[in-house]
Amino acid sequence: MTTISFTDVVAQETELRDIFGWPTARAQNKQIDRLDHHCRAIIGKCPFILLGTSDASGRCDVSPKGDYPGFVRVLDDTTIAIPDLPGNNRLDTLINMINNPQVGLLFMIPGMNETLRVNGKVRLVRDDALLESMAYQGKLPKLAIVVDVQEVFTHCPKAFMRSKLWSQESQVERGELPSFAEMLRDHANLVECDVEELQKELDHRAATMLH
């Protein structure tokens, strides 16, 4: 794979500061080390998070996690638990956590332009009592992703305002983009695949294997 060459690349923090300057005292001081009542309120209403991990060499991955509002559990002021739900068993995120336990979380609530960012250190836990407390319709997660909170801060709404992410006018008709089956066929080189049949299979799995 060839790398595109550029002539003016920023490589030092001093260069960044020359471009952007320094944060205000308010921006620096908004970072806290525990979950207060504001954080708990957001997590309690949140149905969707982005979970960032990296492996021992620094290769990064971001995984979406979603379920009913409040599916992420606040165990105490510095500990949260995320049920691990069925996926494709690649286990990219979980393997990364074993090799590098540092994680970053972004909590998103539909219609809310501000987000909550949480950074911390993770443990993969299988304690029966915890898994039973996170069961949904009688189904237990196979494990819980427990995050020991180190840094917490709110993120301003500008990205959501610029993108108009939650507005009806920003919604894209699904038919304007390739289907999941088409992308999977091409990316996985499924030469003899029947796209319609594959999409039916994917839709069925999605509908029946949520928990």
Residue 1's pLDDT is 74
The mean pLDDT of the chain is 96
CB-based burial, 50-88: b 16+ in 10 Å, e otherwise? bbbbbeeeeeeeeeebebeeebbbbeeeebbbbbbbeee
3-state secondary structure of 15: helix
Q: Residue 186: how many CB atoms within 10 A of its CB?
A: 13
Q: Residue 166: how many CB atoms within 10 A of its CB?
A: 15
Q: What percent of the chain has pLDDT over 90?
A: 94
Residue 129's pLDDT is 97
Does 169 score more than 90 pLDDT?
yes
Statement to judge: residues 66 and 134 lie in one domain: yes
Q: What is the pTM of this model?
A: 0.94
CA distance 15 to 19: 6
Statement to judge: residues 32 and 126 lie in one domain: yes
Tell me the average pLDDT across 101-115.
Answer: 98
Q: Is residue 199 part of a domain?
A: yes
Contact assessment for residue 111 and residue 88, using Cβ atoms and an 8 Å cutoff:
no
Q: Is residue 76 part of a domain?
A: yes
Statement to judge: residues 204 and 139 lie in one domain: no
Tell me the average pLDDT across 99-114.
Answer: 98
Statement to judge: residues 84 and 57 lie in one domain: yes
Q: Is residue 187 part of a domain?
A: yes
Tell me the average pLDDT across 167-185.
Answer: 96
Does 99 score more than 90 pLDDT?
yes
pLDDT tens digit sequence for 11-65: 999 999 999 999 999 999 999 999 999 999 999 999 999 999 999 999 999 999 9
- Residue among 65, 56, 123 nearest 96 (CA): 56
Q: Is residue 37 part of a domain?
A: yes
Q: State the residue range of the domain holding 50.
A: 28-163
Split at pLDDT 50, 70, 90, the class of 87 is confident
CATH at residue 37: 2.30.110.10
Statement to judge: residues 159 and 179 lie in one domain: no
Q: Which residue has the tokens 């089956």?
A: 181
Statement to judge: residues 63 and 128 lie in one domain: yes
Statement to judge: residues 181 and 155 lie in one domain: no
Total domains present in the chain: 2
Split at pLDDT 50, 70, 90, the class of 2 is confident
Residue 197's pLDDT is 96
CA distance 161 to 159: 5
Q: What percent of the chain has pLDDT over 70?
A: 100
Please, which residues have CB within 8 angstroms of residue 121's CB and are 6 or more apart in sequence? 101, 102, 103, 147, 148, 150
Q: Is residue 22 part of a domain?
A: no
CA distance 63 to 111: 21
Does 177 score more than 90 pLDDT?
yes
